[in-house]
């Protein structure tokens, strides 16, 4: 009954968000990754990318199962939303009333997975993180781990280690805390700490080792791609110290219900709960008792910091990442509802339900407005153009997908260039640059090993990557390089200088830039 009710809400939201595309840049690399994987290219070895491989494998699995179309990826995203809903409902049905469990289980996929039309690293990583955290908190509540839960937590730790690093760090910490509390008594503190530490150690090696084995790369190559390349994200943590982070509108793309800073509201909920727990916890006021009383404050701070970490490192995806505040409050209710008293359960779960209701409304409005996708802020009343009206090959891959006027105009110009220079039969001679990587799906693969999956400076590529990229382009068979004008700024200057030297400009306007390789004799 609950599942059927959820489908009646999730289905129209999924149908709406998966049938519109406002900008090509955000999805282009993700879409292209599926066929790269199916054709034998491997991340880190053949494709430079700071993103870990689980989402690429999931996308490839969707296309392998449903066919090489955008619809296959859209169905994969809907399935992921249903999995998250069902898992959360199953974990919370007994600790909460069915209505409360249903609200939270419905809120999480709408605020995370279904903000996108296709599977993304954030959506998949959040699904693992939420289930991992709630499962560990449920074990802590019942004081029982069990072999089934241990196996599930180890599997989730492995998958999380292949999903997204910041989500993995938070999920590992939450799960280790749950394991410690599930095993901990006054006589077994050390044993519980050892098991929790062993879980952390396993979490940090299992996923990366599996990735290295599959991709066939060394630890140094894995570190270069996943840790060293996305240097821009490291600076995002400074946002935690700014007043704008706590009191401003975090991301103008979102509904105005977030005015005032959802992070600030969540901070008050966590802090107040931790402080009251400190005074209301049973036990004496000796040093050991005070330490035990401080535990709820420490645990509240950990869950709060986890949510803030997501926002600081992905401020443009506030709704997706703020949803972890809901998970954190539910976990605190599960953990301390029995240890301190029923009031703690009612407080934390009541706070989670209130926040879930706000996020649910915000998520639905965001889906309605396409605010996660519509970076151009185009008029919602504008006429969205079907893929069939752009080009027959676009319809074959995109199906019922409709494009915003700007993205449709861009794709239309790309196909005009393809036809003008007769590139359909010579797709391997074309390198598709920033925001056009998805053209590998429409006109045949052309990616050669050694180039980035997508272009975003200081995230996917760095300026000091330029020599390797230039050498790859110099040896590649590309006679044409085509990229969007808007996103060409992400090509590192040395690489752009090489392209402008080795290639001549055939076309440059507000939409695209087309380069054609110069004859060897014409090179300066």
Going by C-alpha positions, the residue among 146, 143, 162, 144 that lies closest to residue 203 is 162
pLDDT at residue number 502: 94
pLDDT at residue number 404: 86
- For residue 104, name the pLDDT band (cuts at 50, 70, 90): very high
Q: Does 314 reside within a domain?
A: yes
Looking at the DSSP assignment, which residues form a beta bridge with residue 457?
A: 461
pLDDT at residue number 304: 84
Question: Is the domain of 303 the same as that of 435?
Answer: no
Q: Does 396 reside within a domain?
A: no
Question: Is the domain of 357 the same as that of 440?
Answer: no
The H or E element containing residue 287 is helix 287-313
pLDDT at residue number 257: 39
Q: For residues 41-74, b (16+ Cβ closer than 10 Å) or e, as one string?
A: bbbbbbbbbbbbbbbbbbbbbbbeeeebbbbbbb
Question: Is the domain of 365 the same as that of 436?
Answer: no
The H or E element containing residue 483 is strand 480-484
Going by C-alpha positions, the residue among 196, 121, 115 that lies closest to residue 159 is 121
Question: Is the domain of 412 the same as that of 360?
Answer: no
Distance CA 451, CA 455 (A): 10
Whether the per-residue pLDDT at 287 is higher than 60: the answer is: yes
| Secondary structure class of 516 (helix, strand, coil) | strand
Question: Is the domain of 319 the same as that of 412?
Answer: no
Using one digit for the tens of pLDDT, what is the confidence trace for 15-62? 988 998 877 887 888 888 888 898 888 999 998 888 899 999 999 999
Last residue of a domain, one of 369, 391, 423: 369
CB distance 366 to 254 below 8 Å: yes
Going by C-alpha positions, the residue among 373, 359, 370 that lies closest to residue 110 is 359
Could you tell me the two tokens for 69?
A: 């179309």
Strands (E), 363-415: 385-386, 402-403
CA distances (Å), 144 to each of 192, 270, 478, in order? 12, 26, 60
Whether the per-residue pLDDT at 291 is higher than 60: the answer is: yes
Q: Mention every residue, 6+ apart, whose C-beta is less than 8 A from residue 384.
A: 20, 402, 403, 404, 405, 408
Last residue of a domain, one of 313, 344, 369: 369
- For residue 246, name the pLDDT band (cuts at 50, 70, 90): low
**For the CA atoms of 86, 87, 89, 93, what is the dihedral angle to 10 degrees?**
130
Whether the per-residue pLDDT at 250 is higher than 60: the answer is: no
Q: Does 375 reside within a domain?
A: no
Backbone φ/ψ region at 507: left (φ over 0), alpha (ψ -120 to 50), beta: beta
Distance CA 306, CA 309 (A): 5
Whether the per-residue pLDDT at 376 is higher than 50: the answer is: no
Strands (E), 1-49: 20-21, 47-48
pLDDT at residue number 242: 66
Question: Is the domain of 35 the same as that of 89?
Answer: yes
Question: Is the domain of 361 the same as that of 425?
Answer: no
Last residue of a domain, one of 310, 341, 369: 369
Q: Does 387 reside within a domain?
A: no
pLDDT at residue number 31: 86
The H or E element containing residue 515 is strand 512-517
Higher-pLDDT residue of 162, 371: 162
Whether the per-residue pLDDT at 253 is higher than 50: the answer is: no
Looking at the DSSP assignment, which residues form a beta bridge with residue 48?
A: 452
pLDDT at residue number 259: 37
- For residue 137, name the pLDDT band (cuts at 50, 70, 90): very high
- What phi and psi values does residue 385 have, to the nearest 5 degrees? -95, 125
pLDDT at residue number 385: 92
Residues of the chain above pLDDT 70, percent = 87
**How many structural domains compose the chain?**
2
Q: Does 339 reside within a domain?
A: yes
Q: Does 394 reside within a domain?
A: no
Whether the per-residue pLDDT at 81 is higher than 50: the answer is: yes
Looking at the DSSP assignment, which residues form a beta bridge with residue 452?
A: 48
CB distance 166 to 234 below 8 Å: no
Distance CA 431, CA 185 (A): 61
CA distances (Å), 201 to each of 127, 141, 197, 204, 301, in order? 22, 24, 6, 5, 23
Using one digit for the tens of pLDDT, what is the confidence trace for 164-213? 888 999 999 999 999 998 888 766 788 889 999 999 999 999 999 999 99
Q: Does 97 reside within a domain?
A: yes
Residues of the chain above pLDDT 90, percent = 43
DSSP state of 316: G
Could you tell me the two tokens for 131?
A: 């289930």
Q: What is the mean pLDDT of the chain?
A: 85
Question: Is the domain of 302 the same as that of 448?
Answer: no
Whether the per-residue pLDDT at 80 is higher than 70: the answer is: yes
The predicted model gives 406-427 an average pLDDT of: 90
Question: Is the domain of 115 the same as that of 231?
Answer: yes
Q: What is this structure's pTM?
A: 0.89
Kindly write down the DSSP assignment for every residue of 270-283, as one continuous string: HHHHHHHHHHHSSS
Looking at the DSSP assignment, which residues form a beta bridge with residue 451?
A: 47
Question: Is the domain of 418 the same as that of 513?
Answer: yes
Higher-pLDDT residue of 287, 65: 65
Domain carrying residue 413: 406-522
Q: Does 476 reside within a domain?
A: yes
Could you tell me the two tokens for 236?
A: 């995002």
Question: Is the domain of 105 the same as that of 231?
Answer: yes
Between vectors from CA 79 to CA 73 and to CA 83, what angle results, nearest 5°?
Answer: 145
């Amino acid at each position: 009954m609950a599942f059927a009710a959820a489908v009646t809400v999730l289905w129209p939201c999924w149908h709406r968000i998966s049938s519109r595309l406002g900008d090509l840049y955000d999805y282009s690399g993700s879409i292209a990754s599926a066929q790269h994987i199916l054709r034998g290219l491997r991340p880190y070895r053949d494709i430079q990318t700071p993103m870990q491989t689980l989402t690429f494998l999931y996308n490839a699995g969707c296309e392998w199962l449903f066919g090489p179309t955008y619809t296959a990826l859209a169905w994969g995203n809907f399935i992921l939303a249903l999995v998250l809903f069902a898992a959360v409902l199953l974990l919370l049905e007994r600790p909460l009333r069915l209505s409360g469990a249903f609200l939270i289980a419905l809120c999480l996929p709408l605020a995370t997975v279904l903000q996108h039309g296709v599977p993304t690293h954030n959506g998949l990583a959040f699904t693992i993180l939420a289930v991992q955290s709630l499962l560990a908190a449920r074990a802590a509540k019942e004081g029982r781990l069990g072999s089934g839960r241990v196996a599930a937590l180890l599997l989730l730790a492995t998958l999380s280690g292949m999903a997204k690093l910041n989500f993995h760090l938070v999920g590992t910490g939450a799960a280790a805390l749950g394991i410690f509390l599930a095993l901990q008594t006054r006589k077994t503190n050390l044993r519980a700490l050892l098991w929790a530490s062993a879980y952390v150690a396993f979490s940090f090696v299992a996923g990366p080792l599996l990735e290295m084995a599959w991709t066939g790369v060394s630890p140094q190559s894995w570190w270069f791609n996943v840790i060293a390349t996305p240097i821009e994200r490291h600076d995002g943590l400074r946002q935690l110290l700014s007043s704008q982070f706590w009191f401003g509108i975090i991301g103008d793309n979102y509904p105005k219900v977030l005015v005032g800073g959802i992070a600030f509201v969540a901070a008050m909920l966590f802090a107040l709960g931790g402080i009251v727990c400190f005074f209301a916890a049973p036990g004496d006021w000796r040093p050991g008792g005070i330490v035990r009383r401080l535990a709820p404050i420490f645990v509240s701070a950990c869950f709060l910091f986890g949510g803030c970490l997501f926002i600081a490192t992905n401020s443009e995806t506030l709704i997706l990442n703020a949803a972890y505040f809901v998970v954190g409050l539910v976990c605190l209710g599960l953990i301390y509802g029995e240890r301190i008293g029923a009031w703690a359960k009612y407080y934390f779960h009541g706070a989670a339900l209130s926040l879930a209701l706000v996020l649910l409304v915000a998520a639905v409005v965001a889906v309605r407005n396409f605010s996660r996708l519509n970076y151009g802020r185009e008029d919602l009343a504008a006429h969205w153009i079907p893929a069939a009206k752009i080009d027959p090959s676009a319809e074959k891959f995109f199906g019922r997908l409709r494009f915003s006027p700007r993205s449709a105009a861009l794709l239309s110009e790309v196909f005009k260039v393809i036809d003008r220079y007769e590139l359909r039969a010579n797709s391997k001679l074309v390198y598709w640059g920033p925001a056009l990587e998805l053209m590998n799906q429409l006109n045949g693969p052309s990616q050669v090993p050694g180039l980035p999956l997508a272009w975003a400076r200081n995230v996917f590529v760095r300026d000091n990557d330029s020599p390797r990229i230039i050498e790859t382009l110099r040896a590649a068979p590309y006679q044409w390089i085509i990229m969007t004008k808007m996103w060409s700024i992400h090509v590192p200057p040395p690489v752009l200088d090489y392209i402008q030297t080795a290639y001549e400009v055939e076309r440059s306007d507000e939409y695209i830039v087309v380069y054609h390789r110069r004859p060897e004799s014409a090179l300066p």
